[in-house]
Amino acid sequence: MLMKIYADENMPLVAEFFSHLGPVTLFNGRTVTPGELADAEVLLVRSVTPVNQALLTENKALRFVGTATIGMDHIDQSYLAGRNISFCSAPGCNAQSVVEYVLSALWYLAEKYQWQLSSKTLGIVGVGHIGQRLAEAAAALNIQLLLCDPPRAAIEADFTHTSFTELCRQADIISFHTPMVKTGLAPSWHLLNAQTLALLKPDCALINASRGAVIDNQALLQALQQQPRPVVLDVWEQEPDIQLSLLPHLDIATAHIAGHSIEGKARGTAMLYQQLCQMLGQAPIMQLANLLATPAVEKIQISENFGLPDVQNLARMLYDVRRDDALFRFHIQREGFDWLRKSYPPRREFGSVQLTGSKIPLWMAQLGFTG
């Protein structure tokens, strides 16, 4: 029995994956109305679409909601459960993409400010799918680590946890990878605010590729006007109507695209497809590997002389965050935030390139490369 499937128009390969299960109708995730979704049986969204009673007020047929994202703060899960609507997300789908964004930012900052990354301490706030993978990559680069994740610390006796206030005092770089949580024991809303900003070392660098409101953007602006510091923002409060007055104070500014590699976005679609097939009791017949285009660079041969200082040049050939910063600064006022996301140029992950050679360093795998 075919199902009526409605999907965000910016979800890659959605028709290729889902069309054998039913007709696929695409919609604008930012402007979609209840009337447009009145007869949807399957709803596939991204982070820009709040799924709640208001959106679904005209729908009586919905059976499945999937978000092709790690974050779920835009989904009213209690409401869906009350209507007996199945729900799934895509945890870890774009983790590697975000890690590559952060690594590119770190290499850029190190070059700009003449850092030796091995002499820096990186504080990672939120050590889930992305934060854990970033920790492994940073360890491969000999960067010292501080990890802050209260929920993990509460249930894992061997997790080496540093409180956020202590991390603020000690870290040379802080990278945020926490979900948006407004209540409970470890809320992340405005985690970095006027009070916690005051705890930072004067030159402590900040990277946010998680949720915009983890950092109080107004407090950040006021602090940067008094004390400049290296800052990389991929996410912003009140997207798409962001605080552009921050822009002159930022080293890197991008439009919530850290996770927007071709693999990262398509992996989210694939995960929702597999979950829907499972709910329907059908075996998946579409596979991501068969749908992805052949990368422009398939193989790279490295010699036995390849070492840690060389990895930055190899990575930059595949992705350089400065490209996205330039796109943002040129287009943000003329075209807007959502246009930048929708028009984002293709980016492949490190793992799309096969490394060949007689001696490939084992630590390359920690960065996401494959042999």
Q: Which of 100, 239, 263, 349 is catalytic?
A: 239
- Token pair of 285 as six digits: 């017949």
What is the rounded CA–CA span in Å between residue 83 and residue 106? 45
Q: Please provide residue 326's backbone torsions phi and psi, each rounded to the nearest 5 degrees.
A: -65, -40
What is the rounded CA–CA span in Å between residue 143 and residue 161? 17
What is the rounded CA–CA span in Å between residue 170 and residue 149? 16
Q: Is residue 239 among the annotated active site residues?
A: yes
Q: Residues for the chain: how many in total? A: 371
Instruction: Name the region of 92 (left: φ>0; alpha: ψ -120 to 50; beta: rest).
Output: left
How far lies 99's CA from each of 38, 46, 343, 345, 357, in Å? Answer: 38, 20, 21, 18, 25
Q: Which of 133, 152, 190, 211 is catalytic?
A: 211
How are the residues of the chain apportioned to helix, strand and coil, as percentages rounded to the nearest 5? 40, 15, 45
Q: Is 166 helix (H, G, I), strand (E, B) or coil?
A: helix
Q: Which of 256, 260, 341, 348 is catalytic?
A: 256
Q: Is residue 211 among the annotated active site residues?
A: yes
Q: Please provide residue 189's backbone torsions phi and psi, each rounded to the nearest 5 degrees.
A: -65, 125
Q: Is residue 256 among the annotated active site residues?
A: yes
What is the rounded CA–CA span in Å between residue 17 and residue 354? 26
Question: Known catalytic residues?
Answer: 211, 239, 256
